[in-house]
């Protein structure tokens, strides 16, 4: 793998000598080309509406470009020769994971913004056993939401502290813009009965088979009051078949806008997901349901001891989770969540504008716009 990376990086760098940069080209990649969403999409839409970028043109990279219709932009297949040529041409790179595909060929003067895709408790980057190849030292703008994130990426991703833009993530701005009208619209789209409250269940990815939740028990005990929205991780995309749910269980794995799910949910249930620090910005109750806590902590690893840190600790059985939901004091849980989240993250509600301002500032320095 090391030989491959070294050889391919050198080859693309050499190719770059013959590829002239286009100072008005922006390349976008979301989730390694799997999606057309998240902070890169928010910044794409904002750039199109910003007069400072009216002369720019845009390219989105996808694993399967034909699956996506992108207005006012070209598309390219990620990892193709055309993709790497586009990357060498582009003055600005915007991503929530990576652009260089594990290689190293960024030209001097190329502006790289990495919004990343979440702040969470599980280990990643070079903190993972056998990994030491994460290097964000060439990131020019890194979206940061607090000391926890800064320390994490400086230590485990080799990011530069000077690259940190203390703004939160652009995709989170929308959470503070929803209205009561949006609540009605989203609930109607999901066919949620007016009398029901909403549980949102978002389990994270594991490298091993996990024990499923007992959805039949959840429905039996909670179905009179709640509906359950279930959204699996994008690496998984599988939801266990649920029979005779009587409208209790709704699969929202492919629902296009997770912020809308956060907004209509009354309670979030997750385990080791960064969803806690997105949903948590809204100050609503959250429960950590982790029936494999010790195994996950051993196999994947955690930066945060959820047993001691998370409000109410962790729920290791379906019965524990259901009982906690049934007996909770909603207002008291909200206050506990607000205090917990504030220890780790914050969002000043202007991340999109802050990113565009910093991009333009760097453009001004390098292009004399």
Convert the pLDDT of each residue in 195-244 to its tens digit: 999 999 999 877 777 667 899 999 999 999 999 999 986 555 455 555 55
Decide: 88 and 15 in contact? Cβ < 8 Å: yes
Do 33 and 45 contact (CB within 8 A), yes or no?
A: no
Decide: 31 and 117 in contact? Cβ < 8 Å.
Answer: yes
pLDDT exceeds 60 at position 302: yes
Q: What mean pLDDT comes out for the span 251-264?
A: 94
Residue position matching structure tokens 């390349």: 27
Q: Quick one: what percent of the chain has pLDDT higher than 70?
A: 94
Q: What is the pLDDT of residue 182?
A: 98
Taking residues 4-14, what's their average pLDDT?
Answer: 95
Instruction: Annotate 152-178 with b (16+ C-beta within 10 A) or e (fewer).
Output: bbbebbbbeeebbbbbbbbbbbbbeeb
The stretch 122-148 carries a mean pLDDT of: 94
Comparison of pLDDT for 153 and 254, the residue scoring more: 153
Residue 266 confidence (pLDDT) above 50:
yes
Helix, strand and coil in the chain, % to nearest 5: 40, 15, 40
Rounded to whole angstroms, the Cα distance separating 85 from 19 reads: 7
Query: What's the rounded mean pLDDT across residues 124-130?
Result: 91
Which pLDDT does position 58 carry in this prediction?
98
In the chain, where the domains are located = 2-169+349-367, 174-342
Question: What pLDDT sits at residue 365?
Answer: 81
What is the reported pLDDT for 325?
98
Q: What are the Cα distances from residue 314, in Å, to 179, 220, 285, 294, 328?
A: 32, 22, 13, 11, 14
Superfamily of domain 2-169+349-367: CDP-glycerol glycerophosphotransferase, N-terminal domain (3.40.50.11820)
Q: CA separation (Å) from 207 to 35, 204, 299, 312, 314? A: 21, 10, 8, 26, 20
Q: Check residue 74 and report its DSSP letter.
A: E
CA–CA dist 181, 36 (Å, integer): 25
Q: Which two tokens stand for residue 124?
A: 């990643």
pTM passes above 0.85 = yes
Say yes or no: do domains 2-169+349-367 and 174-342 share a fold. yes
Put residue 164 in one of left, alpha, beta given phi > 0 → left and psi -120 to 50 → alpha: beta
For the domain covering 174-342, report its CATH number: 3.40.50.12580
pLDDT for res 237: 47
Query: Which pLDDT score, from 0 to 100, does residue 367 have?
Result: 67
Output the average pLDDT for the chain: 93
Q: For the CA atoms of 362, 90, 17, 133, what is the dihedral angle to 10 degrees? A: 80
Greatest mean pLDDT range, 51-65, 242-256, 290-304: 51-65
Count CB atoms within 10 A of the CB of residue 45: 14
CA distance 248 to 223: 6
Asked if residue 107 has pLDDT above 50, the reply is yes
């Amino acid at each position: 793998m090391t030989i491959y990376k070294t050889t391919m990086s050198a080859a693309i760098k050499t190719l770059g000598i013959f590829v002239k940069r286009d100072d008005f080209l922006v390349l976008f990649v979301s989730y390694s080309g799997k999606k057309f969403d998240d902070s890169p999409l928010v910044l794409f839409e904002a750039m199109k509406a910003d007069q400072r970028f009216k002369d720019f043109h845009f390219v989105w990279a996808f694993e399967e470009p034909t699956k996506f219709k992108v207005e006012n932009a070209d598309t390219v297949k990620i990892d193709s020769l055309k993709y790497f040529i586009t990357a060498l041409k582009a003055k600005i790179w915007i991503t929530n994971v990576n652009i260089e595909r594990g290689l190293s060929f960024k030209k001097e003067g190329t502006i790289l913004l990495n919004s990343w895709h979440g702040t969470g408790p599980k280990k990643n980057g070079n903190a993972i056993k056998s990994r030491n190849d994460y290097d964000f030292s060439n990131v020019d703008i890194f979206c940061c939401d607090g000391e926890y994130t800064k320390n994490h990426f400086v230590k485990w991703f080799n990011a530069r502290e000077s690259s940190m833009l203390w703004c939160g993530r652009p995709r989170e701005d929308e959470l503070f813009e929803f209205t009561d009208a949006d609540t009605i619209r989203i609930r109607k789209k999901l066919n949620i009965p007016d009398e029901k409250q909403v549980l949102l269940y978002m389990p994270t990815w594991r490298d091993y088979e996990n024990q499923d939740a007992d959805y039949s028990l959840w429905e039996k005990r909670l179905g009179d009051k709640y509906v359950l929205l279930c959204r699996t991780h994008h690496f998984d995309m599988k939801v266990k078949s649920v029979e005779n749910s009587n409208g209790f269980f709704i699969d929202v794995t492919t629902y296009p806008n997770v912020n809308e799910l956060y907004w209509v949910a009354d309670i979030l249930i997750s385990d080791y997901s960064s969803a806690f620090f997105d949903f948590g910005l809204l100050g609503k109750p959250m429960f950590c349901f982790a029936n494999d806590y010790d195994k996950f902590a051993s196999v994947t690893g955690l930066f945060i001891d959820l047993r001691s840190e998370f409000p109410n600790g962790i729920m290791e059985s379906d019965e524990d989770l259901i009982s906690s939901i049934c007996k909770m004091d909603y207002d008291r849980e909200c206050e506990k969540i607000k205090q917990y989240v504030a220890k780790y993250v914050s969002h000043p509600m202007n991340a999109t504008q802050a990113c565009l301002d910093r991009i333009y500032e760097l453009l001004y320095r390098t292009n004399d716009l």
